[in-house]
Amino acid sequence: MAEKEIVIIGAGPGGYVAAIKAAQLGGKVTLIEKDELGGTCLNWGCIPTKVLLRGVELLETLEGAKEFGLQVNGVSVDLAKLMARKDRAVKTLVAGVSGLMKSNGIEVIKGKAGLLSPRKIQVLDQQNQTVAFEARRIILDPRGRPSRGHGQQRGFTAHPDSGLHGDHRRRADRSGVRNHLCGPENQGDHR
């Protein structure tokens, strides 16, 4: 069975940053990701929501323009273009993470990993092939979860069905963005 030095499962902000740090400290690192580099934050969470919300903010500003004595006619939402802009931003950032993996000499394996024992990992890759190897050290970054507690009582934490909350949520609702972002297939999973 092949042996790896440091294996990190999950390439979200937790996993890919750990991978870079471990590589910079001299480790030989393998990063396993079942989906996209960058995890929830880059692909489905922080970045997409902020790109979409920026569009909604702009819409609100334009709608309020007449208060400033400006006449703006025909403002409407082109959801397809809004989503295309979001997709471009995500793609650019994911490519950036991919570049960082290469420049730090990190091996990236695309596939779903599972632990067979504290040191043995099995990966089902995208071609449905199973590979197993041993690792001297394993770091798990399978996913962060929204916290519940003080923040939620104050309306600050990510809502489980959308990741949007408070003022952001109201703005996204108004423009129809949230329905698109959090359609039934995404509810509770964000992807």
Burial of 29 (0-12, 13-18, 19+ CB in 10 A): buried
CA distances, 28 to each of 31, 162, 168, 183 (Å): 10, 37, 41, 40
Q: Is 190 in the site for ligand FAD (CB under 6 A)?
A: yes
User: Could you tell me the smallest distance in angstroms from the CB atom of residue 188 to ligand FAD?
Assistant: 10
Q: Is 94 in the site for ligand FAD (CB under 6 A)?
A: no
- The string of DSSP codes covering 162-180 is TS--HHHHHHHHHHTHHHH
User: Could you tell me the smallest distance in angstroms from the CB atom of residue 111 to ligand FAD?
Assistant: 7
User: Could you tell me the smallest distance in angstroms from the CB atom of residue 71 to ligand FAD?
Assistant: 35
Site string for ligand FAD, 13-52 (x = CB under 6 A): xxx----------------xxxx---xxx---xx--x---
Burial of 35 (0-12, 13-18, 19+ CB in 10 A): middle
Dist CA 47 CA 36 (whole Å): 14
User: Could you tell me the smallest distance in angstroms from the CB atom of residue 48 to ligand FAD?
Assistant: 7
Binding site for ligand FAD (CB under 6 A): 9-15, 32-35, 39-41, 45-46, 49, 112-113, 141-144, 158, 163, 190
